[in-house]
Amino acid sequence: MSTPSQEQARPPLVEVRDLVKHFPIREGIVIQRQVGAVQAVDGVSFDVLEGETLGLVGESGCGKSTTARLITRLLDPTSGSIRYRGTDIATMSRRQLKPLRREMQMIFQDPYSSLNPRKTVGTIIGEPFVIHGVEKDDKRRKARVQGLMETVGLNPEHYNRLPHEFSGGQRQRIGVARAIALEPKLIVADEPVSALDVSIQAQVLNLLRDLQREMGLTIIFIAHDLSVVRHMCDRVAVMYLGKVVELATSEQLYSNPQHPYTGALLSAVPVPDPILAAAKTRQVLTGDVPSPTNPPRACRFHTRCPKAVAGTCDVTEPLLEPKERGGEAACHFPLSSSEVAEAVPTAR
């Protein structure tokens, strides 16, 4: 595990600044006019350091998947910049992007719908080579694909099988093989294990970790399962309603969360230990996440925050800034150590 000082030494691979994505809501059948916007991502800034795994966590609708799709430019940002190795890719055209696509790949949540059911596994994994014109010779391409299948723990003899002949965990391995085919620098994994059975999850998580070590991959890891994120990630960004509310190393975030929302998330995780489960006072957030079409003003969490102070939290927006006890958080009244100890079962 790396210490903060080592991490400072790593150069950033991706620098995201003030990234915004608004999806317009239109009304009318022939003449459409915009009546509002879903503010999916609204001013997000963070760095992804080379060789690290950065976790993005938050509840559904917080903008974590949108952020991932913006970074890989599967979506066009409304505004803001995404610098990949120093070059701003936020406004690049498709043609300009194509050479960069080799370096950034995605792994998707659902191994059933992200593989073409009519294509053989060999064709699916070999497709990146064809698209980018890397390995034009059929024989050599087959050899490389079979090598990749071996790397991810699939039987190379299954080259000509179709996706439906594989189990969920094996299909996710096919997705991983396809993602690493062109030896990318950055992998964006969007909920890569949440569709898998418990006993299979660990297999895929270990595979991703081993590949990262061998290939020096940088990974953006999106998941809603906070235990999985803690296991996989060096640093974690917590998102709420399109904003990053806390950004810290895993060590820091899980033992010493600053933002009340992070505290509530950690408090809500069921712990598979009856004694710990009985000992903690679970801090239950009331209500639901507000609508991203009309998010609360100032601090977006103030409507559900147990520590919100009227006149401050609903008036001034807190900025993501370094806090005394380490890490960065966007909060006027960060949690005290005693509050953390009470609500978070794993706090030290």
**120 near other proteins, judged by CB under 8 A:** no
Size of the site for other proteins (CB under 8 A): 48
Site residues (CB under 8 A) for other proteins, limited to 35-74: 59-60
In the complex, minimum distance from the CB of residue 132 to other proteins, in angstroms, rounded to a whole number: 33
Could you tell me if 241 and 230 are in contact, meaning their C-beta atoms sit under 8 angstroms apart? no
In the complex, minimum distance from the CB of residue 183 to other proteins, in angstroms, rounded to a whole number: 25
- Distance from chain centroid for Cα 165: 29
Q: CB within 8 A of 220, min separation 6: which ones?
A: 14, 48, 53, 54, 56, 68, 71, 186, 187, 188, 189
> Hey, is 51 helix, strand or coil?
coil
Contact with other proteins (CB under 8 A): which of 202, 215, 298, 341?
Answer: 202
What is the rounded CA–CA span in Å between residue 313 and residue 306? Answer: 11
- Name the strands in the sheet holding 33-49, side by side, starting at the edge strand that comes first in the sequence: 33-49, 12-27, 79-84, 87-88
In the complex, minimum distance from the CB of residue 292 to other proteins, in angstroms, rounded to a whole number: 12
One-letter amino acid of 133: G
**201 near other proteins, judged by CB under 8 A:** yes
Contact with other proteins (CB under 8 A): which of 148, 152, 188, 226?
Answer: 226
- Could you please report the per-residue DSSP string of 287-341? S-PPPTTSPPSSSTTTTT-TT--TTTTTTSPPP-EE-TTSSEE--SSPPPHHHHH
User: What would the x/- binding string for other proteins be over residues 164 to 193, using CB under 8 A?
Assistant: ---x-xx-----------------------
- Window contacting other proteins (CB under 8 A); options: 11-19, 179-187, 224-232, 331-339: 224-232
Could you tell me if 312 and 305 are in contact, meaning their C-beta atoms sit under 8 angstroms apart? no
**342 near other proteins, judged by CB under 8 A:** no
Contact with other proteins (CB under 8 A): which of 269, 307, 326, 341?
Answer: 269
In the complex, minimum distance from the CB of residue 105 to other proteins, in angstroms, rounded to a whole number: 23
Site residues (CB under 8 A) for other proteins, limited to 271-300: 271-277, 282, 284-289
What stretch of H or E contains 222?
Answer: strand 218-222
Q: CB within 8 A of 311, min separation 6: which ones?
A: none
Site residues (CB under 8 A) for other proteins, limited to 236-255: 250-251, 254
**231 near other proteins, judged by CB under 8 A:** yes
Could you tell me if 259 and 332 are in contact, meaning their C-beta atoms sit under 8 angstroms apart? no
- Window contacting other proteins (CB under 8 A); options: 97-105, 126-134, 183-191, 195-203: 195-203
Q: Under the rule (CB under 8 A), what is the footprint of other proteins?
A: 1, 59-60, 167, 169-170, 197-203, 205-206, 224, 226-228, 230-232, 250-251, 254, 264-277, 282, 284-289, 345-346
